[in-house]
């Protein structure tokens, strides 16, 4: 005949299980809170880049600097006169900046 043993948990097993569950819960909370922070920051940066892109598309950027782009092949160098435009947008509470540079051939 098979003996039926105690089917419950001892106090020590219950405390250890609760401690392990608490450690896992705290680490998961830290992981998710960090992920939410990064998601929000990424969304703010994306919005700033979209704003910069709309400035570019409406040709509102006026601060151009002229430069020469040199493309070198084996024995050949090709110089192209270009204008460099920079559009900078500030985002977030800490004043981070997102910049977009674009080039136009003169």
Dump pLDDT digits (tens) for 69-104. Answer: 899 998 899 999 998 888 888 888 888 888 888 888
Query: Is the separation of the CB atoms in 57 and 100 below 8 Å?
Result: no
The predicted structure's pLDDT at residue 1: 52
Cβ-proximal residues to 20 (8 Å cutoff; 6+ apart), any chain: none
Q: Where are the domains of the chain?
A: 12-105
Q: Which of 103, 59, 57, 56 is nearest to 81 (CA)?
A: 103
Q: Which 3-state string (H, E, C) describes 36-64?
A: HHHHHHHHHHHHHHHHHHHHHHCCCCCCE
Q: pLDDT tens digits, residue range 56-66?
A: 777 766 677 88
């Amino acid at each position: 005949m098979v003996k039926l043993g105690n089917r419950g948990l001892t106090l020590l097993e219950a405390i250890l299980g609760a401690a392990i569950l608490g450690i896992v819960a705290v680490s998961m909370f830290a992981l998710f809170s960090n992920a939410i922070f990064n998601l929000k920051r990424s969304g703010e940066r994306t919005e700033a880049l979209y704003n910069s892109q709309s400035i570019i598309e409406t040709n509102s950027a006026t601060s151009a600097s002229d430069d020469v782009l040199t493309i070198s092949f084996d024995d050949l160098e090709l110089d192209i006169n270009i204008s460099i435009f920079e559009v900078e947008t500030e985002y977030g509470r800490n004043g981070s900046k997102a910049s977009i540079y674009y080039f136009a051939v003169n």
